Structure 1
Amino acid sequence: MDQPALPKIDRRAIPARARESSWEAPDGYALRRIDWPAGAPPRGSILFLPGRGDFYEKYLETLDQWNRAGWRVTATDWRGQAGSGRLGDDAVTGHIGDFSQWVDDLTALWSDWKAATPGPHILAAHSMGGHVVMRALVAHAVDPDAVVLSAPMLGMSGPPLPLFLLQGVAKLMCMVGKPTRPAWKWSEKPGEIPARRRDLLSHDGERYADELWWREKRPELVMGPGSWGWVERAYASSRVLEAKGALEAVHVPVLMVSTSNDKLVSHPAAVRAAERLPQGELVVFGKEAHHEILREVDAVRDQAMAAIAEFLDRVAPART
């Protein structure tokens, strides 16, 4: 018997049962977060981390859907992004001193969150969030029962050159100018979204428009290019993941949902990672999906969400 379709939520409103707050890192830095309570009985708990330049409002539909399926759900903005402030010289350029700062934040948040929530405990992330999650897994800094990654940034789309060479170019750019300056052009007009940006993210015009609506309603969420420092540190961090034996030592079940049509992150890197991870699995989309698979048209998004649900039911069944 078919399950009744879940009612669609208002993607431009914080759900009534969700609560926004902040979490304080060990060094006192405040990260914005949102929480949905667990069902009765709870299915388990999911901690979701968004991508570079992202904010959790973009994923309200997915987070609320998981909650209605019985999961206790938490999402947070990364240090220096969205509602968690900035680390560069202006309000829109995304900068970080080193990706290890994000790994440290995730490690501390994971410890606090896991102690306060019912299991099984799932780490889920999109794009750059997936990169940081993988760094934490390689460092054995977190111990989830399973991991779900959407279009993970395990490599960046760009020239097919060795990582050490790409990092060397970015390091040179950091030496000849401020590392906090933008690494690419956002728009001719400050604060204006590039005209073809949607073509990189989603075929769904309404879901793409939701992001622009939230940016207008909450201007603090707006972020543009990454800094040259971010680029250089991203290549350095990717070399950690590419190191021999790094992913092979991660024994957690990991599902990656990726698209060969991705123009922002490297799909081949996700394919390689799935082969290297002892319990890695990969769901592949093609031209029907852009980078933001969980914000794609219903036919694509529903397929991705169903694959995630099947994976979690199989590798992280509810505890009795």
Structure 2
Amino acid sequence: MIAAVAAAGPDLVNIASNPMPEGGQVGYFLTSDKVRIRYAIWPRTGEKHRGTVCLVQGRTEFIEKYFETIADFRKRGFAVATFDWRGQGGSDRLIAGDLGYVDTFDDYWCDLQSFHTEILLPDCPPPFYLVGHSMGGLVSLFAGINDRLMFDRVFLSAPMVGLDHQPLSFAGMARVAGALNFVGLGKLPIGRKGDRLAAEQTFPDNPLTSDRTRYMRMVDVVKARPALGIGAPTISWAAAAMTSMAEVGRDSFPGKIRVPVLMLAAALDQVVSTGTIEQLGLRMRTGHHMVIAGARHELFMEKDAIRGQVLAAFDAFITEQTG
């Protein structure tokens, strides 16, 4: 494993346009392979005790981006626990610079498994519900295979099971990226339009959200702490991602998932493939999918009408178990 590049302190960015929910606890934990991960947990605020939402982010994201969504879950009676994946946010970076890097997606599974052991089990009330967005959604699907007892239910927002307008098959793209990685080019950047850092001038044609206020919150947080931002993914990251997406595409994959899953897809997604999410949802034995009309990729960052549908879907899905 590449030596980690130490992150700054674990404190969260609290600014007027993106206020931090009260009552949180923030710190670091070490994964089983000794990477330092920034995490935060919040107790519930509602009268009901409904367990803990474990919120896992997409590529480039950080805890602060989900303050509003964390407050929404807490109002519903859930404690919330979340962390920054290795290589992004306030966690240790794996290479110098602002590029996204990972050796294999199994490393993200290591982050989630270590978080479950070090933080969720000792410090958070069960039952545990896994909520994953984009890249975090892809990792969450593997969690539903690797250990069916970790989480009672899995709720996914635009999971990265395929890319929009990809030129080759997952397996073909994985072979190309893997070959480049093998010859020593793994740390070089490879990216698309959606990998641009958010800025005020990029809002009009951004693929993430149609809500300007929520988009600018992301910009404001990174302005307040530039170290939270990362740029394009590396070839190594791409090889790892394509390998994992190719695995999801295998005929045998859906039957291996042994926990209830609900996947939400964004009808106007230009980052991940809505069609691939639909195909997977139709093949799953323990899960299903919904397509949110008019939505771009960042479902939790969209306009109120769209977010309302997302949270209503979450409520109905979890209520099936909690009542």
Q: Which category of TM-score, normalised to the shorter sequence, fits these structures? A: 0.7 to 0.9
Per the TM alignment, residue 208 of structure 1 is displaced from its structure 2 partner at its CA by 0.1
Any residues of structure 2 matched to 1:128-277 within 5 Å, and which?
A: 128-140=135-147, 143-175=150-182, 178-184=185-191, 193=199, 195-196=201-202, 199-277=206-284
| 8 A Cα contact 2:200 2:216, kept in partner | no
| 8 A Cα contact 1:78 1:102, kept in partner | yes
| 8 A Cα contact 1:48 1:75, kept in partner | yes
- Residue of structure 1 in register with 2:94 after alignment: 87
Q: C-alpha deviations, 1:18-62, integer Å up to 9, x for none?
A: 222222212332211111113555211110001000112111101
- Residue of structure 2 in register with 1:3 after alignment: none
- Partner amino acid, structure 2, of 1:111: T
* Rounded Cα–Cα distance in structure 1 between residues aligned with 2:198 and 2:150: 40
- Residue of structure 1 in register with 2:102 after alignment: 96
| 8 A Cα contact 2:17 2:220, kept in partner | no
Q: Given the alignment of the two structures, is residue 37 of structure 1 paired with residue 43 of structure 2, yes or no?
A: yes
* Rounded Cα–Cα distance in structure 1 between residues aligned with 2:130 and 2:186: 31
3-state SS, counterpart of residue 290 of structure 2: strand
| 8 A Cα contact 1:186 1:192, kept in partner | no
Q: Against the structure 1 CA distance between its residues 41 and 192, is the aligned structure 2 distance closer, same or farther, given a 3 Å change threshold?
A: closer
Task: State the TM-score, normalizing by the size of structure 2.
Answer: 0.87
Per the TM alignment, residue 268 of structure 1 is displaced from its structure 2 partner at its CA by 1.4
Equivalent residue for 1:58, pick from 65, 70, 73? 65
- Partner amino acid, structure 1, of 2:242: Y
Where in structure 1 are there 5+ consecutive unaligned residues?
Answer: 1-8
Bigger drift between 105-114 and 72-81 goes to: 105-114
Equivalent residue for 1:117, pick from 115, 119, 124? 124
Q: Against the structure 1 CA distance between its residues 270 and 114, is the aligned structure 2 distance closer, same or farther, given a 3 Å change threshold?
A: farther
* Rounded Cα–Cα distance in structure 1 between residues aligned with 2:192 and 2:300: 26
- Residue of structure 2 in register with 1:106 after alignment: 112
Identity of aligned residues (%): 29
Q: Against the structure 1 CA distance between its residues 245 and 98, is the aligned structure 2 distance closer, same or farther, given a 3 Å change threshold?
A: same
| 8 A Cα contact 1:89 1:180, kept in partner | no
Bigger drift between 61-70 and 169-178 goes to: 169-178
- Residue of structure 1 in register with 2:285 after alignment: 278
* Rounded Cα–Cα distance in structure 2 between residues aligned with 1:103 and 1:96: 12
| 8 A Cα contact 2:162 2:245, kept in partner | yes
* Rounded Cα–Cα distance in structure 2 between residues aligned with 1:264 and 1:71: 30
**RMSD of the TM alignment (CA)?**
2.3
* Rounded Cα–Cα distance in structure 1 between residues aligned with 2:37 and 2:149: 18
Where in structure 2 are there 5+ consecutive unaligned residues?
Answer: 1-14
* Rounded Cα–Cα distance in structure 1 between residues aligned with 2:131 and 2:217: 21
* Rounded Cα–Cα distance in structure 2 between residues aligned with 1:293 and 1:196: 18
* Rounded Cα–Cα distance in structure 2 between residues aligned with 1:89 and 1:173: 20
- Partner amino acid, structure 1, of 2:100: G
* Rounded Cα–Cα distance in structure 2 between residues aligned with 1:124 and 1:195: 31
* Rounded Cα–Cα distance in structure 1 between residues aligned with 2:295 and 2:173: 27
- Partner amino acid, structure 2, of 1:20: V
Task: State the TM-score, normalizing by the size of structure 1.
Answer: 0.88
Q: Against the structure 1 CA distance between its residues 10 and 272, is the aligned structure 2 distance closer, same or farther, given a 3 Å change threshold?
A: farther
- Partner amino acid, structure 2, of 1:157: D
Equivalent residue for 1:298, pick from 290, 297, 304? 304
